[in-house]
A and B are shown apart, each in its own frame.
Chain A
Amino acid sequence: MRSLIFTAVIMAMLPAAFFSPFVGVLLWSYVSFGSPQRLTWGISDAIPFALVIGLTGILGWLVTERRKIPTDRTTWLLLAFVFAYTISTYFAIVPSEAWPKWWLITKSMIYVFITAALLTNRVRIHALLWVMVIAVSFYGIKGGLFTLYTGGNYRIFGPVETMIGDNNHIAAALVVILPLMNYLGRQSQNELLRLGSRAAIALCLLSVLASYSRGSFLGLIAMLPFLLQHSKRKLLSGVLIVMLLAFSISFMPTQWVERIQTIQTYQQDSSAEGRLEMWTAATKMAVARPLTGVGFKGPYIQTVMDKYSPGTTARAVHSIWFENLGENGFPALFLWIALAVVAIQNCRYIIRRTKNAPQLKWANDLAHMSLCGLVGFYVGGSFLSLSYWDFYFTLLVILAATRRIVVQELAPEAKWILFNRTAAAAAARARLAPQRPLGGTAD
């Protein structure tokens, strides 16, 4: 039944995706970030939804609304990153493993560029954020209720065979969307949505804890000072956040507390030690092949591992930084870091420029909350393999689009200020100039 409804709804919206390609972007985002098709069985199994929606959207973009892909720092860096990992894949040690992953990532990247082209106004940005949040929070809300019901004795996982399937990955994804949910709640006029977003935040927070992911827990903690920074009533917000966190933690069983406490004694923990070992192995791979790394999936292949780091068991690198370094070499890592720097710069620029612009309060809120999400992702992601997460790249283009809108909106104002300043300077010069009598010369 679920399968039939899902198929019917998506198929019914396909014509809209052609005539209004942004609808295609929204549908693609839902299918790509939330993988709802993984939760259906039956007729939907035979339909490649992502491909169908993707092709319809691209066709619509080419035929009905062909907007140029913006040429800002984010898109140039994304393009350079695609180029870097393509070169790395070409020289991969095991191409048969690398190319399928290349295709998986590249098709998402194509849509990231189309998203960048079609994010032309705040309504589109807002709608896309809603879809992104709905797609991922589904697992957080469901997991939060499950945690309440079972007392936190079971781990929360994401949709199987997807980028966020692992418990650590779904937890990191939820950490990123927590502040975005706060943004959507704050910006909604509808009281029910505002209340709903708060309830969803609480449930997703429980899910993050119930994932037993220590990295995401650290990401959550790292995010808090940034959340407080944005709050008008810092003390009250701080007390509320600490109370919510304390309540959630007190709800978790002792096995959870024991697991989190191993952060302090990571030298004795095999999982943490394994991560350090993999980071060392990834660095060795990058040092041996600095320009290209070993290619996608290299660290997962035992023969590759034996060549560069004998004695280490091949598995996931468990770090967004080292995964990039080992698989794609130093150029790709530097580009990835540059993307992160530009994203933070975009946030800071938007926050600074919109501080005194009430009409752009939404952009100010969005930049603040995105900054929190990014910090959570960089800290939490340091312990898990999510370097090529399309949700993250989409958030980067959202920030770039918001910056463009802010620049565009403040441009007339800036011109007016410049005009006023020039006029004021001219007046000051006139006042300072030696006075000449009216109707004649001084001498």
Chain B
Amino acid sequence: MESIFFLFGLMGVVLVVHWAVVNDRAGNHGKTTGLFAMRDAETETAKPAVKPPIHPSARPPQRG
């Protein structure tokens, strides 16, 4: 059992190293990809938001 955990840990470190090398160019702004991809501002804002109600005066005039 301990060996399995040990291998999981080792595999985890290898994956993190790989992720760090691949995503290093993303720096502070870019989007990260892969297993350890970080949530970024874009991901946060991509969530469906509730539409604010439109004020009647702002609506386009109806024809007919």
Contact = CB atoms under 8 A, between A and B. Distances in A.
A84 to B, nearest CB: 34
13 contacts: A2-B7, A9-B10, A26-B16, A26-B20, A34-B9, A121-B27, A122-B28, A123-B20, A131-B13, A138-B9, A187-B38, A188-B38, A409-B28
A71 interface: no
Contacts of B44: 358, 361
Interface of B: 2-3, 5-7, 9-10, 12-14, 16-17, 19-21, 23-24, 26-29, 32, 35-41, 43-45
Interface of A: 1-2, 5-6, 9, 13, 16, 20, 22-23, 26-27, 30, 34, 36, 39, 121-124, 126-127, 130-131, 134-135, 138, 141-142, 186-190, 193, 358-359, 361-362, 405, 408-409
Contact of A13 (B14, B26, B27): B14
Contacts of B9: 34, 36, 134-135, 138
A137 to B, nearest CB: 8
A36 B6 CA distance: 8
A14 to B, nearest CB: 12
Interface SS majority for chain B: helix
A123 B24 contact: yes
A139 to B, nearest CB: 9
A362 B6 contact: no
Nearest to A19: B21
A6 B7 CA distance: 8
A408 B12 CA distance: 31
Given A23-B20, A141-B5, A359-B41, A134 B12 contact: yes
A5 B36 CA distance: 24
A189 B26 CA distance: 16
A15 to B, nearest CB: 12
B23 A9 contact: no
Given A9-B14, A134-B9, 12 more contacts: A6-B10, A13-B17, A16-B17, A34-B9, A39-B2, A121-B26, A122-B38, A188-B37, A190-B35, A190-B37, A362-B38, A362-B39
B17 A358 contact: no
B6 A2 contact: yes
B11 to A, nearest CB: 9
Contacts of A127: 16-17, 19-20, 36
A330 to B, nearest CB: 40
B22 to A, nearest CB: 9
- Max count, chain A CB within 10 A of own CB: residue among B27, B36, B40: B36
A68 to B, nearest CB: 18
A188 B39 contact: yes
Contact of A22 (B3, B7, B20, B45): B20
Contacts of A20: 21, 24
B28 to A, nearest CB: 5
Contact of A138 (B5, B24, B43): B5
B38 A193 contact: no
A20 B7 CA distance: 24
A161 to B, nearest CB: 18
A6 B13 CA distance: 11
Give 9 closest A-B pairs by Cβ, nearest first.
Answer: A127-B20, A359-B41, A189-B37, A358-B41, A121-B27, A130-B16, A138-B9, A134-B12, A123-B23
Given A123-B27, A134-B9, A189 B38 contact: yes
